[in-house]
Amino acid sequence: MSTSRSRPELPLDGILVLDFSQFLAGPVAAMRLADLGARVIKIERPNGGDIGRTLAFAGLETDGDTLSFHIMNRNKESFAADLKNSEGLAQVWKLVEKADVIIQNFRPGVIERLGLGYEEVKKVNPNIIYASATGYGSVGPFRDRPGQDLLAQSISGLPWLNGTAEDPPVPMGLAVADIFTSTHLAHGVTALLLRRERTGVGGLVESSLLEAMLDLQFELISANLFDPNVIVKRGASNSAHAFLPAPYGLYQTQDGYLAIAMTPIPHLGELLGVDLHAYEDPKSWWSDQETIMNALSSRLTLHTTEHWLAILDAADIWCAPVLTLPELVAHEGFKALDMTQETKRTGHDGISEVSVWTTRSPMRIDGRPVKSTKGAPHVGEDTEKIRTEFNL
């Protein structure tokens, strides 16, 4: 256990995490633990470090590292070690002996070939919590395929849920498989830490991009398991859910878009000035989805989003404006959540200060947002300090 960078007000203060992972799912899982107070030491190659340092998000970078690396590796230290070198590996093993948690996301079999698989680690540290993320699990025909977000989305069938009946498959415009996997991995780690606190027993938690995507679709998969005749049937051009009836969807207005969720169709028609009394039976909201949504669409284009919101909000209808990213960031609702934080580190020149604005942890602990100003480390930035501290 470690007390370095102690933050006693946070629940994972004193927990030492070794982060062997790269790019997104694993590093973000470790970041989530760091945000909650854990000390995270990132184990990196001496030359180049995490490949995520060079894979630029939107082509953005600063101080020699990509923006994505900066925001995914805040609150961490970096220890440079060549795991194929006996001396470097021996030093890492000493850290393993003292660690509470290990996170890795190599392809199946790679970490075992390096000698740092769970079975070997628990022989020297039986209390370890070992977290492993893969693309598609450690067994099955997908096992050795490249574990990448778009590929996992595609195998899971998720792109068939997006868009409408006339669209081709539409993937999510985010690394949703990686992000959800990171959440499940961090969740599993905290659950095993609690079990260890009660029983003294360590453990292994595993998840994968594909499993995260299947869990995301649990409603739809369950419906098919219940009735194999249930398949994805994307709806009208406004539809926002493959299995929900009208009016659930997005509608163009005179100056933007409006989202409308579950609402009784006749009542909605009255509010908007559309005659929909023929659809009193809720079953018709599904069977006649396209007709209903086309009628709503024709009406909603006649006035602005704010015009319709004033009417629908007053009637407590479940609706919302569809904001662009600039509109969201400028909105008072975004500012009220206090969702941003500024991280800082010393630049490569050893003099300048490099700051990066990013989002904070989405949690509040004891009523306060969880924030930290420590930016992502340079490759091996903390190696000598850690060697001295742990007598490596």
Note the pLDDT tens digit of each residue in 199-227: 999 999 999 999 999 999 999 999 999 99
How far apart (Å, rounded) are the C-alpha atoms in residues 27 and 256? 37
Beta strand 65-66 with 61-62: parallel, antiparallel or unpaired?
Answer: antiparallel
Average pLDDT over residues 229-249: 88
* Structure confidence at residue 127 (pLDDT): 98
Give me the residue label for tokens 């600039």: 326
Residue type, 264: P
* Structure confidence at residue 314 (pLDDT): 98
Whole-angstrom CA distances from 76 to 3, 18, 32, 347 are 14, 10, 11, 16
Q: Does 301 score more than 90 pLDDT?
A: yes
Contact between 129 and 203 (Cβ < 8 Å): yes
* Structure confidence at residue 5 (pLDDT): 58
Q: What is the pLDDT of residues 170-195, one digit of tens each?
A: 999 999 999 999 999 999 999 999 99
Whole-angstrom CA distances from 120 to 83, 111, 128, 363 are 15, 10, 11, 35
Q: Does 149 score more than 80 pLDDT?
A: yes
Give the bridge partners for 126, in sequence order: none
CATH top class, domain 16-215+337-389: alpha beta
How far apart (Å, rounded) are the C-alpha atoms in residues 36 and 364? 10
Beta strand 368-369 with 364-365: parallel, antiparallel or unpaired?
Answer: antiparallel
Residue type, 30: A
Give the bridge partners for 60, in sequence order: 57
How far apart (Å, rounded) are the C-alpha atoms in residues 178 and 213? 9
Q: Return the domain boundaries, the chain.
A: 16-215+337-389, 257-321
Average pLDDT over residues 50-56: 91
Q: Which residues are known catalytic residues?
A: 178
Give the bridge partners for 132, in sequence order: 104, 206
Average pLDDT over residues 24-48: 97
Residue type, 122: K
How far apart (Å, rounded) are the C-alpha atoms in residues 251 and 268? 14
* C-alpha neighbours within 13 Å on the C-beta side of residue 193: 21
How far apart (Å, rounded) are the C-alpha atoms in residues 181 and 184? 5
How far apart (Å, rounded) are the C-alpha atoms in residues 195 and 216? 26
Beta strand 129-134 with 101-104: parallel, antiparallel or unpaired?
Answer: parallel
Tokens of 351: 């003099």
> What is the distance of C-alpha 183 from the center of its chain?
6
